[in-house]
Amino acid sequence: MTTEPDVIKSILLFTPEDAYEPKKLAESERLLRRQAYLYDANISAQTNCDGNIDVTVETRDLWTLLPEISFSRSGGENKSSIGFRESNLFCWGKRLSLSRTTDAERNGYLFVYDDPNILSSRYRGRVEYSDNDDGKRHLLELTYPFYSIDTPYSYGLLSLSDQRIESLYKRGEVFSKFSQKTEYNRIFFGHSKQLSNSWTQRLSVGYTHEQQSFFSTADTYTPLAEKRELSYPYISGNWFEDHFVKVRNFDSIYRTEDLNLGWNLQALLGYSSEELSNDASRAVYSFHAKKAHFSGNNTLWRFQASLDGYWNEQQGKAENLL
């Protein structure tokens, strides 16, 4: 089955009326190759006899309806999963999956719907719903992303709720259980600015609320952890270098791949005060850096460093430092 032409058009960063910009053609080609339902994409341009530019967009589709069946056994416990995944629903680029999982902790169903171009727009949405024998989980996400390097702004929201029964083990045996409920909500707005021909800066402001609550069950035999809550505004930044190269047969066989050899830096700083979260005041911070380098035709070096954690003002120490 072939993807609908309107889906391909909605991904491109140019229209027939636009001035010819090789940079936009190259980035559009990368965006097409990023789609899970396309095997490869190529965009070429040539001048016609009237002096205008003719642009040709070629794509190769993949078979996207895949069954998912797995079975494993570890520590005397069985784990199985059965379902399907469709990453190009009705040839419109939508993603749908449904699965049933059974393991020692829980049995249940998981439904996922992911729409990368809602109504052929730049908006993206994702819905997840899980119904298990020990609780439910739902996720709702709607964003207008930085879909290209030149996109001037981005905004979105995310809401997650997850309730489940967790087990505590001792010498391989369950000795206590408790119910855990996790709630996570976030809203943000971001602005992008070109710093040079190769460097781009993206700054975002947002607000995040996280809460983890713990409840007793009939099988609870240990003290419960205290409720944890973070509610904080934050500012984040992303500075990255546009240095993409095309390679073949690198991570995937017989496929064209896009590698960014430039720097990619991300940082976030937030503050959760005691008044907002009903918990100890904490600073929230993270930093991530990535870089790649070719040292030969077949050798790629990847550098990556990260730092995540909290600073508890009341105790004067770092928490969950990674």
- Confidence (pLDDT) at 170: 87
Could you tell me how many residues make up the chain? 322
Rounded alpha-carbon distances, angstroms, from residue 267 to 234, 251, 259: 11, 28, 22
> H or E segment at 259?
strand 256-260
3-state secondary structure of 147: coil
Residues 50, 58: Cα–Cα separation, whole Å: 23
- Confidence (pLDDT) at 320: 82
Work out the average pLDDT over 38-51: 92
Contacts of 37 (CB under 8 A, 6+ apart): 3, 61, 62, 64, 87, 88, 93
- Confidence (pLDDT) at 298: 74
User: Contact at 8 Å (CB) between 54 and 43?
Assistant: no
Beta-bridged to residue 123, according to DSSP, are none
- Confidence (pLDDT) at 213: 94
Q: Please report, as a single letter, which amino acid is at residue 208.
A: T
pTM of structure: 0.90
pLDDT in tens, 250-280: 888 888 999 999 999 999 999 999 888 778 8
> H or E segment at 277?
helix 274-277
169 band by pLDDT with thresholds 50, 70 and 90: confident
Among residues 161, 205, 201, which one has the least CA distance to residue 183?
Answer: 161
Residues 298, 226: Cα–Cα separation, whole Å: 52
Residues 221, 212: Cα–Cα separation, whole Å: 20
- Confidence (pLDDT) at 250: 80
CA atoms within 13 A on the CB side of 308: 7
> What's the token pair of residue 317?
């120490």
pLDDT in tens, 72-130: 987 778 889 999 999 999 999 999 999 999 988 889 999 999 999 999 999 999 999 99
How high does pLDDT run on average in the chain? 93
CA atoms within 13 A on the CB side of 133: 9
150 band by pLDDT with thresholds 50, 70 and 90: very high
- CA 1 to chain centroid: 27
Q: Please report, as a single letter, which amino acid is at residue 112.
A: V
DSSP assignment letter at 198 = S
Residues 58, 317: Cα–Cα separation, whole Å: 56
User: Contact at 8 Å (CB) between 161 and 182?
Assistant: yes
pLDDT in tens, 3-19: 999 999 999 999 998 99
- Confidence (pLDDT) at 294: 84
Rounded alpha-carbon distances, angstroms, from residue 145 to 120, 155, 262: 14, 7, 21
Phi, psi of 149 (to 5 degrees): -65, -35
Strand segments, DSSP code E, in 16-106 are 38-47, 53-61, 65-74, 77-89, 94-102
Residue 193 clears pLDDT 90, i.e. is over it: yes
